[in-house]
Amino acid sequence: MSLQTKLRKKHNTIVETEKRKSQIRILLLLHRVVVVVTQHAKAAAERHAHRTHNTHNMSFLRSNCKR
């Protein structure tokens, strides 16, 4: 194996790992956003349920969040 192909392979693996890292970073960010949004939605629904005493709505929301 020549030096050039070795270098090319090394470069390719570095590029691949960088791609993977950025993908993971994006996924983590998305996950964090989803978690925050669902928590906000849950809190708002709970506040709303307390105000209107609508317990059916809450159980429906809870069962949907678990899925």
What pLDDT does residue 10 have?
94
In tens, the pLDDT along 22-57 reads: 999 999 999 999 999 999 999 988 887 766 555 555
Cα(37)–Cα(44) distance, rounded to whole angstroms?
10
Residue showing tokens 């629904």: 45
Q: List CB contacts of 54: < 8 A, sequence separation 6 or more.
A: 48
Domain hosting 56: range is 3-66
What pLDDT does residue 1 have?
80
Q: Which pTM was predicted?
A: 0.51
What pLDDT does residue 16 have?
96
Q: How many domains does the chain have?
A: 1
